Amino acid sequence: MKKWIALLLVAIMAVSAFAGCTTNEQPANTDTPATDAPATNGDNAPATTPDNSNVVVNNTGAERPENAAAEQVVKLFYSDEITDWNPLHPSSASTWANWIDSLVEYDNYGMCQPCLAESWTKSEDGLTWTFKIREGVKWQRYDGSEYGENVKAEDWVTSAKWILDPANTARTADLLFDMVGAEEYYMALESGTEANWDNVGIKAISEYELQFTLISPCPWFLSRLTYNWGYPTCAKFLDEMGESFGTNNDTILYCGAFLCSQYEPNSYVISTRNPLYWDIDKIHVERIEEKYNAEADTLAPEALLRGEVTVADIPTDQLDGWMNDPTKKAFIRPNRPGSYSYFFLVNFMPTYTERNGLSHEQWLKAANNLNFRKSLYYGLDRIKGIGCYDPYTPEDYELRTITPYNFCAADGKDYPYLDALKAITETEQFQPETAIEYRDKARAELEAAGVTFPIMAYMPYNSESTQQTNLAVIVSQQLEELLGSDYIKFIIEGYPDTDYLSTTRRAGNYSFMMSYWGPDYADPETWTDPFNLGQAYNYIWRADGMATQTTQDDPASRMGRSGYDETYWKDFVYGQKVAEATAETVDNSKRYNALAEAEAWLIDQAFVIPFGVLGGCGYMSSCMNPFESQYAPFGMSDDRYKYQWVYEKPFSTEQYLEMLPVWEAERAERIAYAEANGIDY
């Protein structure tokens, strides 16, 4: 199976994929970030700062490239209207990436750098992390005026308190549960009992010192700080706004590289460079102009040729036209490989309207039948489906596991090739004859259980995405043709881009649909999050024999999902497998292999059907150099425009392929340097 996207990190794999992914040794007690600002050790004495001057970062400093555009303005079309301005909600986290800074961030080589934390230390036991907050960073309003408060350590405590309050439905509380007392605080608030913040290991130990105390060592802790729970929040402003907080561009404060200076719903979003930004020398883009267009995906390519936008994905139905036109072909390049894993979900809590033969009861009987699920697993033609995104080399983007290639490694093996997953990775998953065998077994068992055929399956899709629209049609037709429309019949329905996930997957409004997940931090545990108790993906704990329903009074109880599934459960089979795996925090080999076993079980049960890595497939036309942008497969860093220039014309495939190996080699050199000097990166 071809995997040219895997080549992006091949040179790196020999060294390491991410910090904590290939070594079992505990890092030194002082983390010295690669920066000009001196780090400090536990005694507040200057620590030795590694010399990275031997590695040059091309075109990311203040020197203007010769072929940079005269006007440094990023112009984009968008079709997904902003419906949530709260930076502490994960649905708006990427929106806020350029407007608010995090404690740390990643540079264009994927190396961790200081951001609002100018330095940090770690205790020898790996449990206590202390961050020195950068002084003098102003909280500002959308118009650039100063609010009158500086960013301080207490602002992260404010964010954590807000996220750990179940009433706020932040959906990221579980990311804080490995900190001392955090889960207990959350559960106490949820049950209405006394909750004491003093017992939570998130403290402002001084005005500009922030401290996290973990339950167990977490070598990848830095990578977790770039997600939205790592954003600061000004408590004074939060109190002033009340329920109005995060409802518009003027009801939040800014401390990032850009300010959302103008906003008109269904019209435009204008972000201007923040003149007070602490790292402004690395911000070359002067303005980001986003214009609303309901047909953004379709119209953006031609708009780019007219100079109306600077970046545009090329839809598959237009790709042949661009490839066969010499002028247009010179303006396109492959998308940079993404880090999002796409998969199909079998839903165990359907909420859709029962109509046209759709029945919750009938669907659940089918969904709870392993042979039925396996008929879909082996019957799905992934290559045909991925062709909706890249018709030229779809096999390059096929993924047979949930965790993508090159995310991390153990025992000298890429994660999908660990013992528990190796057979899955190396076995063709589209097996028509096997699918039919499972179909026949499922039909006999389900007919005996009183199920009426065909099974009616509801599959929503994003109607404003050409690729997703085509995929829904192709997948439904392909499965019906292979398995028989007398066995399964799909009802597909398009939904607008705005609030698409909230009205479909998160609401349980589907039978079978494609979804995705991107990593929040540099450990394979992050790929378990969508399927754990409390996540609004496919509610596996409701499947027969997977968990025991209980009550809130049960000490072992956990809520399913506030808002959609206000029930309590315990003894969740998959959750127990993950908990046993993640209890190991020192030996990464044991940890990763145990997590691989949990993932293999999930796939073998066909609760999830792996599909592909689609976030970076296909082609695009862009006037921006992809290797200047911040790089990280987790968190919000790669949504930012720091380091980047706008160029006079789009980059070609030839330029992309010429720059790729140079970037790979330079990144590998930085990783080797960091590991040789005991730097967490």
pLDDT tens by residue, 623-641 = 999 999 999 888 888 899 9
pLDDT of residue 19: 36
In a domain, 529, yes or no: yes
390 and 500 together in one domain = yes
pLDDT of residue 43: 33
pLDDT-derived band at 621 (thresholds 50, 70, 90) equals very high
pLDDT of residue 339: 82
In a domain, 379, yes or no: yes
Listed range (57-66, 100-109, 544-553) with the worst mean pLDDT: 57-66
pLDDT-derived band at 91 (thresholds 50, 70, 90) equals low
pLDDT-derived band at 16 (thresholds 50, 70, 90) equals very low
Between residues 240 and 40, the one the model is more confident about: 240
Residue 457's H or E segment, with its range, is strand 455-462
Q: Is the pLDDT of residue 65 over 90?
A: yes
Q: Is the pLDDT of residue 94 over 80?
A: no
The boundaries of the domain holding residue 437 are 346-612
Determine the average pLDDT of the residues in 124-134: 97
Residue type, 476: S
496 and 373 together in one domain = yes
200, 160 contact by CB (below 8 A):
yes
pLDDT of residue 23: 30
210 and 358 together in one domain = no
The rounded mean pLDDT for the chain is 88
In a domain, 576, yes or no: yes
Please say which residue of 557, 581, 612 terminates a domain: 612
Q: Rounded to the nearest 10 degrees, how much is the dihedral formed by the CA atoms of 177, 179, 180, 181?
A: -40
Strands 117-122 and 128-133: antiparallel
Between residues 21 and 428, the one the model is more confident about: 428
In angstroms, rounded to a whole number, what is the distance separating the alpha carbons of residues 643 and 662? 17
pLDDT-derived band at 29 (thresholds 50, 70, 90) equals very low
207 and 239 together in one domain = yes
Listed range (10-19, 461-470, 590-599) with the worst mean pLDDT: 10-19
In a domain, 296, yes or no: no
Determine the average pLDDT of the residues in 144-151: 97
pLDDT-derived band at 539 (thresholds 50, 70, 90) equals very high
Q: Is the pLDDT of residue 31 over 70?
A: no
Please say which residue of 593, 612, 631 terminates a domain: 612
| Other beta carbons within 10 Å of 392 | 13
pLDDT of residue 586: 86
Q: Is the pLDDT of residue 492 over 70?
A: yes
pLDDT of residue 50: 30
Q: Is the pLDDT of residue 58 over 60?
A: no
Indicate which CATH number applies to the domain containing 416. 3.10.105.10
In a domain, 244, yes or no: yes
Determine the average pLDDT of the residues in 600-609: 98
Q: Is the pLDDT of residue 11 over 90?
A: no
387 and 267 together in one domain = no
In angstroms, rounded to a whole number, what is the distance separating the alpha carbons of residues 144 and 124? 42
In a domain, 172, yes or no: yes
39 and 95 together in one domain = yes
- Number of folded domains that form the chain: 2
pLDDT of residue 635: 83
Please say which residue of 588, 612, 636 terminates a domain: 612
581 and 635 together in one domain = no
Determine the average pLDDT of the residues in 483-491: 98
Task: Give me the residues paired with residue 91 across strands.
Answer: none
pLDDT (tens digit per residue) in 306-352: 999 999 999 888 999 999 999 999 999 998 877 899 999 999 999 99
Q: Is the pLDDT of residue 46 over 70?
A: no
pLDDT of residue 562: 64
pLDDT of residue 33: 32
Q: At what angle do helices 370-379 and 432-448 cross, to 10 degrees?
A: 160
In a domain, 322, yes or no: no
pLDDT of residue 83: 84
In a domain, 208, yes or no: yes
Q: Is the pLDDT of residue 57 over 60?
A: no
Q: Is the pLDDT of residue 12 over 90?
A: no
| Per-position DSSP letters for 194-217, written without gaps between them | ---GGGSSEEEEETTEEEEEBSS-
pLDDT of residue 616: 65
pLDDT of residue 563: 65
pLDDT of residue 511: 99
601 and 627 together in one domain = no
518, 340 contact by CB (below 8 A):
yes
Indicate which CATH number applies to the domain containing 12. 3.40.190.10
Q: Is the pLDDT of residue 460 over 50?
A: yes
What secondary structure, in 3-state letters, does 250-306 show? CCCCECCCEEEEEEECCCEEEEEECCCCCCHHHCCCCEEEEEECCCHHHHHHHHHHC
pLDDT of residue 516: 95
645 and 538 together in one domain = no
**DSSP reduced 3-state for 529:** helix
631 and 565 together in one domain = no
pLDDT of residue 396: 87
pLDDT of residue 60: 62
Determine the average pLDDT of the residues in 149-171: 95
pLDDT of residue 509: 97
pLDDT (tens digit per residue) in 496-535: 988 899 999 999 999 999 999 989 888 999 999 999 988 8
For the chain, state the CA radius of gyration: 25
420 and 477 together in one domain = yes
597 and 627 together in one domain = no
CA neighbours within 13 Å on the CB side: how many for 146? Answer: 10
